[in-house]
Structure 1
Amino acid sequence: MGIEDEVDYTATALMASRSFSQSDERFSAAYLKWLYETAFHRPAIVVTARVDGKKAGQAVILWQRFFFQGWHTVCAQLVDLFIAPEFRSPMLVRAIYGELRSCLADHRAMVLTVPNNKSVILNRRFLKLQLIRKLEIRIGMACPYNSRNVTSLFHDAGNTESTRLLIEHSPMSLTGCQPVWDAGALINRLANPLRRYAIHKSPSLLAITSRRVFRGLPVVLVAGLLPLDNRSAGDKEVGDILRNAALLHRCPAYLYVGVNQFLKVPGVALPTRLRPSQMLVQGNMQPENDGARDLSRFEAIDFDFG
């Protein structure tokens, strides 16, 4: 049991596929390398369990910059906890969580994470993580339309115009409790080798969208609606962005996951039976700390769903 300094991404991707019994496109060496090394604000910590010198399982800590009640900090997100089928045992689960607990204590880390349904129970039992809130999942339709109040374009490393729009996004004057993104961090976040993102700029918002498939249907994932200098956006401005995204992605259906106190996302709440997971945010804040439970903005771009 310990920290894995040199991750074999090919072997880890194969182990993840076997552990989850599915050939998810996320389980590729290129995707894991990006997620663990550059997707968030500093390289991840990979906690590894070994049996007779062979890697048997792991859990990963991603680091996300956060603004929390007037000060900047770094939060831990927990992802990719799995154990190879031939090594599964309650003892190994306890050992991995014991190492996670020690690592988080060493870093004095605040935890804010969106686990899968199985990990919700394990996080509560072994790390004493509490429910912060349940994220909204909304779905709707937008008529494709090119609003002159919105600049929309696809992002890639060589697109100087998209880079300019990201640089213009300012994380200054933050309030409440929310993730912090600057231009460099967003450029790294959008370098996902499996996805293509679009950027939309309106007077009050920088929006990030991506075409996805949900329940077999093409949708536009509204991954992030980042207010510019904490300005609130009106319904028309949000609608214009959704219509521009529908035109750019050639897809009228959209999906939104998250919470955003600066605006209202139209659409209907997705029924519980259709949700991809519970989408619960867990954390280690104290119950009496109401501000920790009042997330100003937390959306798909802020964790590994986006």
Structure 2
Amino acid sequence: MDIKSDFYHNHRLIQVDIVKTLPYEEFKYFNKSTIQLFKLAYPHRSKIFTEEYFDWRYEKCFGGSAKFICLFESTKLIGQGVIFQQTLFHNGEKLKVAQLVDLVVHPDHRSFSAVRKIYKASKDQLENSQFDLAFALPNSNSIKLNQRLLKLELALPIHSFLTLFSPFTSIENQYCEIYDRNKEYISSEVLDFLKQPESEIMWNEQSIKNRLNDPHHKFGFVYNKDTLLVVSPRKLRGIRCVVIFAIFRKTNNTISKKEWRQLNNAAAKMFKTPFILFVGHNNLLPKPFGIKVSRWIKSAEKPVQILRLNNDTYFEDFSRLELLDLDIL
């Protein structure tokens, strides 16, 4: 009997809501139900919710060791929450970190009782999995629920910074590559940046490919001899821009303003737009390196909630926390 039929056999007579925590190998049989849940919950983004998208998101992106908290009515998936397991680097120490994402309940079954069951199972997973830290990047509806049911505390928000660079400036000693997810090719020059001590703990050739294999978005690399930017062209609020997902550097020195300008000019030229957006923080960046977008657009400031489990690190203490490490866009 296969996993799917065995699961159905074990639960086919149960008529009340049940919660089960599944690894992806079992959860993937419910992908079509997940697609339906997300299309109902986020109709304005329904086009991106495909089997290919969820295969990437849950199996590759952050999902290698993800846990899926599933709420069933009999054998029907009516709600879920997901715990992504990540490794972050702080003061020479590897931290096992949980990111709480994708809490969604079918509109016909939404109730405080249903949500509480998902939260309770999530809390059990966090307490039993030896995580150092758990965090969420909640929407406005989830903040109070996270505080009440998981005791998550508000931390400093993640900010977005906008800069303008000419896409017509000639560039020297800056190199650009488009990442082709079909070929999964990354040059040796780019891979060299991942071999630095701090980078190597968090990323390697396969994990960076998994992260960039998003079926809906392009990625590219801009680099010189010392610094690498991982970038992606996006359209945010109707404006075409380049989003910087990560910065890798072969030295621990702060990037000079001249070097930062040259790299951003190369990124602007690569994707033919003057707007460059950086989300998160990195201690190697020159200051000031951009205009804080949340001064004009409130939604550009992303709330953060944390739960310190086996470590006293504050979220804002990380020297580097960027989109490559987070599930935001």
Superposition TM-score, scaled by structure 1 size:
0.90
CA, structure 1 residues 290+84, in 2 after alignment: closer, same or farther (shift >3 Å)? closer
CA, structure 1 residues 102+219, in 2 after alignment: closer, same or farther (shift >3 Å)? same
CA contact (8 A) 1:141 1:252 kept: yes
SS in 2 for 1:42: helix
Work out whether 1:6 is the aligned partner of 2:24.
no
Work out whether 1:165 is the aligned partner of 2:189.
yes
How far apart, CA to CA, are the structure 2 residues paired with 1:120 and 1:183?
A: 35
Work out whether 1:44 is the aligned partner of 2:66.
yes
SS in 1 for 2:255: coil
How far apart, CA to CA, are the structure 1 residues paired with 2:162 and 2:102?
A: 27
How far apart, CA to CA, are the structure 1 residues paired with 2:252 and 2:194?
A: 9
CA, structure 1 residues 179+75, in 2 after alignment: closer, same or farther (shift >3 Å)? farther
Q: 274, 278, 282: which is aligned to 2:297?
A: 274
Work out whether 1:102 is the aligned partner of 2:124.
yes
| Greater C-alpha Rg | 2
More helix by share: 2
Indicate the percent of aligned positions where both proteins have the same amino acid. 25
CA contact (8 A) 2:62 2:211 kept: yes
Q: 132, 137, 143: which is aligned to 1:120?
A: 143
CA contact (8 A) 1:48 1:59 kept: yes
Work out whether 1:139 is the aligned partner of 2:162.
yes
Q: What letter corresponds to residue 45 of structure 1 in structure 2?
A: K
Q: Structure 1 stretches of 5 or more lacking a match? A: none
SS in 2 for 1:203: coil
Q: Which residue of 2 aligns with 1:227?
A: 249
Q: 236, 257, 262: which is aligned to 1:214?
A: 236
SS in 1 for 2:263: helix
CA contact (8 A) 1:137 1:256 kept: yes
CA, structure 1 residues 128+88, in 2 after alignment: closer, same or farther (shift >3 Å)? same
Work out whether 1:79 is the aligned partner of 2:125.
no
Q: Which residue of 2 aligns with 1:296?
A: 319
> Runs (4+) of structure 1 moved beyond 3 Å?
23-26, 170-175, 275-278, 288-293
Q: 84, 91, 107: which is aligned to 1:62?
A: 84
Aligned pairs, how many? 303
Q: Which residue of 1 aligns with 2:53?
A: 31
How far apart, CA to CA, are the structure 2 residues paired with 1:282 and 1:65?
A: 18
The answer to which of 125-134 and 101-110 deviates more is: 125-134
How far apart, CA to CA, are the structure 2 residues paired with 1:204 and 1:281?
A: 31
Q: What letter corresponds to residue 148 of structure 1 in structure 2?
A: E
Q: Which residue of 2 aligns with 1:155?
A: 179
SS in 1 for 2:281: strand
CA contact (8 A) 1:66 1:180 kept: yes
SS in 2 for 1:38: helix
Q: What letter corresponds to residue 27 of structure 2 in structure 1?
A: E
Q: Which residue of 2 aligns with 1:204?
A: 226
Superposition TM-score, scaled by structure 2 size:
0.84
